[in-house]
Amino acid sequence: MRITRVETFAVPPRWLFCRIETDSGLVGWGEPVIEGRAQTVRTAVGELAEQFLVGADPLRIEDHWQLMTKGSFYRGGPVLSSAVAGLDQALWDIAGKAYAAPAHQLLGGPVRERVRAYCWVGGDEPAAVRDQVTAQVEAGFTAVKMNASGRTDRLPTTAALDAIARRAEAAREALGPEGDFAVDFHGRLTTAGARRALDVLEPYGPLFVEEPVLPEYTHLIGQVTGSTTVPVATGERLFSRTQVLPALQAGVAVIQPDLSHAGGLSEARRIASLAETFDALVAPHCPLGPLALAASLQLAFCTPNFLIQEQSIGIHYHSGAELLDYVLDREVFRFHEGHLLRPTGPGLGVTIDERAVREADGTAADWHNPTWRHPDGSFAEW
Ligand SMILES: [Mg+2]
Protein backbone atom coordinates (compact mmCIF):
# COMPACT_ATOMS: atom_id res chain seq x y z
CA MET A 1 0.00 0.00 0.00
CA ARG A 2 1.31 3.45 -0.94
CA ILE A 3 0.14 6.98 -0.16
CA THR A 4 -0.96 8.64 -3.38
CA ARG A 5 -2.35 12.00 -2.27
CA VAL A 6 -2.75 14.26 0.77
CA GLU A 7 -5.46 16.93 0.74
CA THR A 8 -6.44 19.59 3.28
CA PHE A 9 -9.79 21.29 3.91
CA ALA A 10 -10.22 24.56 5.84
CA VAL A 11 -13.75 24.44 7.23
CA PRO A 12 -15.93 26.52 9.59
CA PRO A 13 -15.78 27.38 12.38
CA ARG A 14 -11.95 27.37 12.47
CA TRP A 15 -10.78 23.85 11.68
CA LEU A 16 -8.50 22.14 9.18
CA PHE A 17 -8.94 18.51 8.13
CA CYS A 18 -6.49 16.38 6.16
CA ARG A 19 -7.30 13.37 4.00
CA ILE A 20 -4.64 10.81 3.09
CA GLU A 21 -5.47 8.64 0.08
CA THR A 22 -3.79 5.34 -0.76
CA ASP A 23 -3.54 3.18 -3.88
CA SER A 24 -5.48 0.47 -2.00
CA GLY A 25 -8.58 2.64 -1.82
CA LEU A 26 -8.22 3.10 1.96
CA VAL A 27 -8.46 6.70 3.09
CA GLY A 28 -7.48 8.25 6.44
CA TRP A 29 -8.64 11.51 8.00
CA GLY A 30 -6.97 13.77 10.54
CA GLU A 31 -7.30 17.27 11.99
CA PRO A 32 -4.04 19.25 11.80
CA VAL A 33 -4.82 22.69 13.18
CA ILE A 34 -3.73 25.34 15.62
CA GLU A 35 -6.57 27.71 16.46
CA GLY A 36 -6.11 30.95 14.54
CA ARG A 37 -3.38 29.63 12.24
CA ALA A 38 -5.24 27.10 10.05
CA GLN A 39 -3.72 28.41 6.83
CA THR A 40 -0.18 28.33 8.22
CA VAL A 41 -0.63 24.74 9.33
CA ARG A 42 -2.19 23.92 5.95
CA THR A 43 1.04 24.99 4.25
CA ALA A 44 3.10 22.92 6.68
CA VAL A 45 0.93 19.85 6.06
CA GLY A 46 1.45 20.19 2.32
CA GLU A 47 5.20 20.48 2.72
CA LEU A 48 5.49 17.51 5.10
CA ALA A 49 3.26 15.36 2.91
CA GLU A 50 5.30 16.04 -0.21
CA GLN A 51 8.63 15.59 1.57
CA PHE A 52 7.89 12.47 3.59
CA LEU A 53 4.57 10.77 2.84
CA VAL A 54 3.52 10.70 -0.81
CA GLY A 55 4.72 7.41 -2.30
CA ALA A 56 5.42 5.84 1.11
CA ASP A 57 3.81 2.92 2.98
CA PRO A 58 1.19 4.46 5.36
CA LEU A 59 1.53 1.62 7.88
CA ARG A 60 5.04 2.71 8.95
CA ILE A 61 3.50 5.26 11.32
CA GLU A 62 6.39 5.49 13.77
CA ASP A 63 8.99 5.87 11.04
CA HIS A 64 6.93 8.64 9.43
CA TRP A 65 6.54 10.34 12.82
CA GLN A 66 10.31 10.26 13.36
CA LEU A 67 11.03 11.74 9.93
CA MET A 68 8.27 14.36 10.07
CA THR A 69 9.39 15.61 13.51
CA LYS A 70 13.17 15.17 13.19
CA GLY A 71 13.87 14.98 9.45
CA SER A 72 14.30 18.74 9.16
CA PHE A 73 17.06 20.57 11.02
CA TYR A 74 14.59 23.18 12.35
CA ARG A 75 11.70 21.44 14.08
CA GLY A 76 9.02 21.57 16.74
CA GLY A 77 6.70 24.38 17.78
CA PRO A 78 2.93 24.64 17.50
CA VAL A 79 2.64 24.88 13.71
CA LEU A 80 4.84 21.94 12.77
CA SER A 81 3.70 19.80 15.71
CA SER A 82 0.06 20.39 14.73
CA ALA A 83 0.76 19.54 11.09
CA VAL A 84 2.41 16.29 12.20
CA ALA A 85 -0.47 15.65 14.61
CA GLY A 86 -3.17 15.65 11.95
CA LEU A 87 -1.11 13.54 9.56
CA ASP A 88 -0.35 11.08 12.36
CA GLN A 89 -4.08 10.81 13.16
CA ALA A 90 -4.83 10.08 9.50
CA LEU A 91 -2.12 7.39 9.42
CA TRP A 92 -3.67 5.73 12.50
CA ASP A 93 -7.05 5.96 10.76
CA ILE A 94 -5.65 4.11 7.75
CA ALA A 95 -3.91 1.53 9.93
CA GLY A 96 -7.12 0.79 11.78
CA LYS A 97 -9.00 0.37 8.53
CA ALA A 98 -6.22 -1.87 7.15
CA TYR A 99 -6.35 -4.12 10.24
CA ALA A 100 -10.16 -3.77 10.73
CA ALA A 101 -9.74 -2.50 14.29
CA PRO A 102 -10.18 0.76 16.20
CA ALA A 103 -6.88 2.56 16.85
CA HIS A 104 -7.23 1.97 20.61
CA GLN A 105 -7.34 -1.77 19.92
CA LEU A 106 -3.99 -1.50 18.07
CA LEU A 107 -2.60 0.42 21.08
CA GLY A 108 -3.31 -2.36 23.56
CA GLY A 109 -7.09 -2.51 23.71
CA PRO A 110 -9.70 -0.82 25.87
CA VAL A 111 -9.18 -0.22 29.58
CA ARG A 112 -12.65 1.29 30.14
CA GLU A 113 -16.09 1.10 28.61
CA ARG A 114 -17.06 4.77 28.71
CA VAL A 115 -15.31 8.10 28.89
CA ARG A 116 -16.39 10.98 31.09
CA ALA A 117 -16.61 14.30 29.27
CA TYR A 118 -17.11 17.85 30.39
CA CYS A 119 -18.67 20.79 28.65
CA TRP A 120 -17.91 24.47 28.79
CA VAL A 121 -20.09 26.96 30.60
CA GLY A 122 -19.95 30.70 29.96
CA GLY A 123 -21.44 33.52 32.00
CA ASP A 124 -19.71 36.36 33.77
CA GLU A 125 -21.97 36.70 36.79
CA PRO A 126 -22.48 34.00 39.46
CA ALA A 127 -26.19 33.79 38.65
CA ALA A 128 -25.41 33.08 34.98
CA VAL A 129 -22.84 30.46 35.99
CA ARG A 130 -25.40 28.82 38.27
CA ASP A 131 -28.02 28.74 35.50
CA GLN A 132 -25.63 27.31 32.90
CA VAL A 133 -24.21 24.66 35.22
CA THR A 134 -27.72 23.63 36.21
CA ALA A 135 -28.67 23.28 32.53
CA GLN A 136 -25.67 21.01 31.90
CA VAL A 137 -26.43 18.90 34.97
CA GLU A 138 -29.99 18.51 33.69
CA ALA A 139 -28.54 17.46 30.31
CA GLY A 140 -26.69 14.67 32.11
CA PHE A 141 -23.19 16.09 32.50
CA THR A 142 -21.34 15.50 35.75
CA ALA A 143 -18.51 17.94 35.06
CA VAL A 144 -18.11 21.39 33.54
CA LYS A 145 -15.29 23.83 32.88
CA MET A 146 -15.37 27.59 32.90
CA ASN A 147 -13.05 30.55 32.61
CA ALA A 148 -11.85 31.79 35.97
CA SER A 149 -12.39 35.39 34.94
CA GLY A 150 -12.47 37.74 32.03
CA ARG A 151 -9.54 40.09 31.45
CA THR A 152 -7.77 40.45 34.73
CA ASP A 153 -4.78 42.19 36.25
CA ARG A 154 -1.80 39.90 36.44
CA LEU A 155 -1.85 40.43 40.20
CA PRO A 156 -5.61 40.28 40.84
CA THR A 157 -7.24 42.81 43.12
CA THR A 158 -9.28 41.79 46.14
CA ALA A 159 -12.41 42.48 44.11
CA ALA A 160 -11.17 40.31 41.23
CA LEU A 161 -10.34 37.48 43.62
CA ASP A 162 -13.79 37.77 45.17
CA ALA A 163 -15.40 37.55 41.71
CA ILE A 164 -13.38 34.39 40.97
CA ALA A 165 -14.53 32.88 44.27
CA ARG A 166 -18.20 33.79 43.76
CA ARG A 167 -18.29 32.10 40.36
CA ALA A 168 -16.70 28.96 41.81
CA GLU A 169 -19.17 29.05 44.70
CA ALA A 170 -22.08 29.29 42.21
CA ALA A 171 -20.75 26.31 40.24
CA ARG A 172 -20.32 24.23 43.39
CA GLU A 173 -23.83 25.08 44.59
CA ALA A 174 -25.33 24.05 41.26
CA LEU A 175 -23.29 20.82 41.08
CA GLY A 176 -23.56 19.64 44.64
CA PRO A 177 -20.81 17.50 46.17
CA GLU A 178 -20.99 14.78 43.50
CA GLY A 179 -20.24 16.92 40.43
CA ASP A 180 -17.02 18.54 39.31
CA PHE A 181 -16.01 21.87 37.88
CA ALA A 182 -12.66 22.94 36.50
CA VAL A 183 -11.41 26.50 36.08
CA ASP A 184 -9.22 27.82 33.27
CA PHE A 185 -6.98 30.86 33.80
CA HIS A 186 -5.47 31.02 30.27
CA GLY A 187 -2.18 32.06 31.90
CA ARG A 188 -3.57 35.48 32.79
CA LEU A 189 -1.88 35.67 36.21
CA THR A 190 1.68 35.93 37.45
CA THR A 191 2.98 33.09 39.58
CA ALA A 192 2.31 35.17 42.71
CA GLY A 193 -1.16 36.08 41.46
CA ALA A 194 -1.92 32.44 40.77
CA ARG A 195 -1.02 31.46 44.34
CA ARG A 196 -3.54 34.00 45.66
CA ALA A 197 -6.23 32.88 43.22
CA LEU A 198 -5.85 29.21 44.09
CA ASP A 199 -6.19 30.10 47.76
CA VAL A 200 -9.66 31.53 47.17
CA LEU A 201 -10.69 28.60 44.94
CA GLU A 202 -9.55 25.90 47.36
CA PRO A 203 -12.70 25.84 49.56
CA TYR A 204 -14.88 25.01 46.52
CA GLY A 205 -12.91 21.93 45.53
CA PRO A 206 -12.29 22.40 41.79
CA LEU A 207 -11.39 19.23 39.90
CA PHE A 208 -8.38 21.14 38.60
CA VAL A 209 -7.23 24.65 37.81
CA GLU A 210 -5.85 25.02 34.31
CA GLU A 211 -2.97 27.16 33.07
CA PRO A 212 -2.69 29.29 36.22
CA VAL A 213 0.50 30.63 34.60
CA LEU A 214 1.65 30.79 30.99
CA PRO A 215 3.43 27.75 29.54
CA GLU A 216 6.61 29.81 29.10
CA TYR A 217 6.73 30.01 32.91
CA THR A 218 6.56 26.26 33.37
CA HIS A 219 9.89 26.53 35.23
CA LEU A 220 7.99 28.48 37.91
CA ILE A 221 4.83 26.38 38.11
CA GLY A 222 6.26 24.36 41.00
CA GLN A 223 5.75 27.48 43.15
CA VAL A 224 2.04 27.19 42.38
CA THR A 225 1.64 23.44 42.80
CA GLY A 226 3.61 23.58 46.06
CA SER A 227 1.38 26.27 47.55
CA THR A 228 -2.04 24.61 47.20
CA THR A 229 -4.06 21.43 47.51
CA VAL A 230 -5.87 22.31 44.26
CA PRO A 231 -4.75 20.01 41.41
CA VAL A 232 -2.96 22.11 38.80
CA ALA A 233 -3.38 21.33 35.11
CA THR A 234 -1.49 22.49 32.05
CA GLY A 235 -0.39 21.22 28.65
CA GLU A 236 -2.58 22.48 25.79
CA ARG A 237 0.33 24.71 24.75
CA LEU A 238 3.04 22.10 25.27
CA PHE A 239 3.78 20.07 22.16
CA SER A 240 6.03 17.16 23.06
CA ARG A 241 7.25 14.90 25.86
CA THR A 242 10.31 17.10 26.37
CA GLN A 243 8.08 20.16 26.94
CA VAL A 244 5.73 18.27 29.24
CA LEU A 245 8.51 16.78 31.39
CA PRO A 246 9.35 19.96 33.41
CA ALA A 247 5.66 20.48 34.21
CA LEU A 248 5.41 16.94 35.54
CA GLN A 249 8.62 17.36 37.50
CA ALA A 250 7.11 20.51 39.04
CA GLY A 251 4.14 18.56 40.38
CA VAL A 252 1.41 19.27 37.83
CA ALA A 253 -1.45 16.87 38.63
CA VAL A 254 -3.21 16.84 35.25
CA ILE A 255 -1.56 17.06 31.86
CA GLN A 256 -3.63 18.23 28.89
CA PRO A 257 -2.04 17.33 25.55
CA ASP A 258 -4.08 18.28 22.49
CA LEU A 259 -4.26 15.41 20.02
CA SER A 260 -4.21 17.93 17.17
CA HIS A 261 -1.28 19.95 18.52
CA ALA A 262 1.10 17.61 20.33
CA GLY A 263 2.25 15.31 17.55
CA GLY A 264 -0.98 13.32 17.23
CA LEU A 265 -2.09 10.04 18.73
CA SER A 266 1.49 8.74 18.69
CA GLU A 267 3.01 11.49 20.86
CA ALA A 268 -0.05 12.04 23.06
CA ARG A 269 0.05 8.34 23.91
CA ARG A 270 3.69 8.72 24.96
CA ILE A 271 2.93 11.89 26.94
CA ALA A 272 0.23 9.97 28.81
CA SER A 273 2.68 7.19 29.55
CA LEU A 274 5.27 9.70 30.76
CA ALA A 275 2.62 11.31 33.00
CA GLU A 276 1.85 7.91 34.52
CA THR A 277 5.42 7.75 35.86
CA PHE A 278 4.70 11.00 37.76
CA ASP A 279 1.32 9.76 39.06
CA ALA A 280 -0.33 12.45 36.93
CA LEU A 281 -3.62 12.12 35.06
CA VAL A 282 -4.43 13.02 31.45
CA ALA A 283 -7.30 15.25 30.33
CA PRO A 284 -6.87 15.83 26.59
CA HIS A 285 -7.52 19.38 25.42
CA CYS A 286 -10.09 19.43 22.61
CA PRO A 287 -12.05 22.56 21.70
CA LEU A 288 -11.78 21.34 18.09
CA GLY A 289 -13.63 19.26 15.53
CA PRO A 290 -14.74 15.66 15.02
CA LEU A 291 -11.38 14.15 14.12
CA ALA A 292 -9.55 15.73 17.05
CA LEU A 293 -12.28 14.43 19.36
CA ALA A 294 -12.28 11.00 17.71
CA ALA A 295 -8.49 10.76 18.14
CA SER A 296 -8.84 11.89 21.77
CA LEU A 297 -11.37 9.13 22.43
CA GLN A 298 -9.04 6.53 20.94
CA LEU A 299 -6.41 7.66 23.45
CA ALA A 300 -8.89 7.81 26.33
CA PHE A 301 -10.07 4.24 25.85
CA CYS A 302 -6.59 2.70 25.96
CA THR A 303 -5.01 4.97 28.61
CA PRO A 304 -5.12 3.88 32.26
CA ASN A 305 -4.33 7.33 33.72
CA PHE A 306 -7.01 9.14 31.71
CA LEU A 307 -9.15 11.57 33.77
CA ILE A 308 -11.74 13.37 31.64
CA GLN A 309 -12.28 14.54 28.05
CA GLU A 310 -12.86 18.08 26.84
CA GLN A 311 -15.19 18.45 23.86
CA SER A 312 -16.60 21.38 21.92
CA ILE A 313 -20.17 20.40 21.04
CA GLY A 314 -22.13 23.59 21.70
CA ILE A 315 -19.06 25.60 22.80
CA HIS A 316 -19.87 29.32 23.00
CA TYR A 317 -17.39 30.69 20.45
CA HIS A 318 -18.16 28.41 17.52
CA SER A 319 -20.26 29.96 14.80
CA GLY A 320 -21.05 28.81 11.28
CA ALA A 321 -20.72 25.07 11.86
CA GLU A 322 -20.81 22.39 14.52
CA LEU A 323 -18.75 19.27 15.11
CA LEU A 324 -21.64 17.01 14.10
CA ASP A 325 -22.05 18.75 10.71
CA TYR A 326 -19.06 16.82 9.32
CA VAL A 327 -19.83 13.26 10.44
CA LEU A 328 -22.19 10.64 9.06
CA ASP A 329 -22.36 8.50 12.23
CA ARG A 330 -23.40 11.01 14.87
CA GLU A 331 -24.09 8.24 17.38
CA VAL A 332 -20.33 8.10 18.05
CA PHE A 333 -20.61 11.50 19.73
CA ARG A 334 -23.90 10.97 21.57
CA PHE A 335 -23.62 11.55 25.31
CA HIS A 336 -24.91 9.00 27.78
CA GLU A 337 -25.16 10.53 31.26
CA GLY A 338 -22.27 12.84 30.39
CA HIS A 339 -20.14 10.04 28.98
CA LEU A 340 -19.13 8.88 25.49
CA LEU A 341 -19.27 5.20 24.68
CA ARG A 342 -16.45 3.17 23.17
CA PRO A 343 -16.26 3.64 19.40
CA THR A 344 -16.04 0.30 17.64
CA GLY A 345 -15.47 1.45 14.06
CA PRO A 346 -12.00 0.97 12.52
CA GLY A 347 -9.26 3.58 12.79
CA LEU A 348 -10.42 6.75 14.50
CA GLY A 349 -13.89 5.23 14.63
CA VAL A 350 -15.79 8.03 12.92
CA THR A 351 -17.10 8.34 9.35
CA ILE A 352 -16.51 11.76 7.85
CA ASP A 353 -19.15 13.27 5.56
CA GLU A 354 -16.74 13.93 2.70
CA ARG A 355 -19.28 15.83 0.63
CA ALA A 356 -20.01 18.21 3.52
CA VAL A 357 -16.28 18.73 4.08
CA ARG A 358 -15.58 19.47 0.41
CA GLU A 359 -18.51 21.89 0.25
CA ALA A 360 -17.35 23.68 3.40
CA ASP A 361 -13.71 23.98 2.31
CA GLY A 362 -12.65 27.61 2.04
CA THR A 363 -15.85 29.02 3.54
CA ALA A 364 -14.47 29.54 7.06
CA ALA A 365 -14.10 33.10 8.27
CA ASP A 366 -10.56 33.90 9.37
CA TRP A 367 -10.75 33.09 13.09
CA HIS A 368 -8.40 34.76 15.57
CA ASN A 369 -8.65 35.09 19.30
CA PRO A 370 -9.47 38.62 20.43
CA THR A 371 -6.71 41.02 21.39
CA TRP A 372 -7.26 42.43 24.86
CA ARG A 373 -5.77 45.45 26.58
CA HIS A 374 -5.59 46.60 30.18
CA PRO A 375 -7.23 49.91 31.14
CA ASP A 376 -3.83 51.63 30.80
CA GLY A 377 -3.64 50.56 27.14
CA SER A 378 -1.06 47.78 27.55
CA PHE A 379 -1.46 44.26 26.17
CA ALA A 380 -3.53 41.81 28.22
CA GLU A 381 -3.59 38.01 27.95
CA TRP A 382 -6.76 36.60 26.40
MG1 LIG B 1 -7.38 25.96 28.39
Q: How far is the CA of 160 from the centre of ligand 1 (A)?
A: 20
Q: Does the annotation count 285 as an active-site position?
A: yes
Residues 53 and 22: beta-carbon distance below 8 Å: no
- In this structure, what CATH number is given to the domain that contains residue 57? 3.30.390.10
Asked whether residue 26 falls in the same domain as residue 113, the answer is: no
Asked whether residue 91 falls in the same domain as residue 117, the answer is: no
The Cβ of residue 226 has, within 10 Å, a number of other Cβ atoms equal to 11
The SS3 call for residue 372 is: strand
Q: How far is the CA of 123 from the centre of ligand 1 (A)?
A: 16
pLDDT at residue 317 in the model? 62
- In this structure, what CATH number is given to the domain that contains residue 191? 3.20.20.120
Asked whether residue 167 falls in the same domain as residue 211, the answer is: yes
Q: How far is the CA of 236 from the centre of ligand 1 (A)?
A: 6
Asked whether residue 234 falls in the same domain as residue 292, the answer is: yes
pLDDT at residue 333 in the model? 96
pLDDT digit string (tens) for the chain, length 382 residues: 999 999 999 999 999 999 999 999 999 999 999 999 999 999 999 999 999 999 999 999 999 999 999 999 999 999 999 999 999 999 999 999 999 999 999 999 999 999 999 999 988 899 999 999 999 999 999 999 999 988 899 999 999 999 999 999 999 999 999 999 999 999 999 999 999 999 999 999 999 999 999 999 999 999 999 999 999 999 999 999 999 999 999 999 999 999 999 999 999 999 999 999 999 999 999 999 999 999 999 999 999 999 999 999 877 666 778 899 999 999 999 999 999 999 999 999 999 999 999 999 999 888 899 999 999 999 999 9
CA distances for 145 relative to 62, 208, 245, 322, angstroms: 34, 9, 25, 19
Residues 122 and 132: beta-carbon distance below 8 Å: yes
- Residue closest to 187 by CA, chosen among 233, 253, 124: 233
**In which domain, by residue range, is 11 found?**
3-104
Q: How far is the CA of 187 from the centre of ligand 1 (A)?
A: 9
Task: Please tell me the distance from the alpha carbon of residue 175 to that of residue 244, in angstroms, as a whole number.
Answer: 31
Asked whether residue 173 falls in the same domain as residue 316, the answer is: yes
Q: Which residues contact 296 (CB under 8 A, 6 or more apart)?
A: 259, 284, 286, 309, 310, 311
Asked whether residue 10 falls in the same domain as residue 121, the answer is: no
Q: Which of 87, 104, 121 is the last residue of a domain?
A: 104
Asked whether residue 87 falls in the same domain as residue 122, the answer is: no
Give me the catalytic one of 64, 186, 261, 318. 186
Asked whether residue 122 falls in the same domain as residue 25, the answer is: no
Q: How far is the CA of 359 from the centre of ligand 1 (A)?
A: 31
Asked whether residue 165 falls in the same domain as residue 78, the answer is: no
pLDDT at residue 321 in the model? 83
Q: Which of 54, 87, 104 is the last residue of a domain?
A: 104
Give me the catalytic one of 64, 104, 261, 285. 285
Buried b (16+ CB within 10 A) or exposed e, 70-92: eeeeeebebbbbbbbbbbbbbbb
Beta-carbon-side half-sphere exposure of residue 347 (alpha carbons within 13 Å): 25
Query: How many domains does one find in the chain?
Result: 2
Asked whether residue 181 falls in the same domain as residue 299, the answer is: yes
Beta-carbon-side half-sphere exposure of residue 81 (alpha carbons within 13 Å): 24
pLDDT at residue 242 in the model? 97
Task: Please tell me the distance from the alpha carbon of residue 247 to that of residue 184, in angstroms, as a whole number.
Answer: 17
The SS3 call for residue 339 is: strand
Q: How far is the CA of 73 from the centre of ligand 1 (A)?
A: 30
Q: Is residue 287 part of a domain?
A: yes
Q: Does the annotation count 316 as an active-site position?
A: no
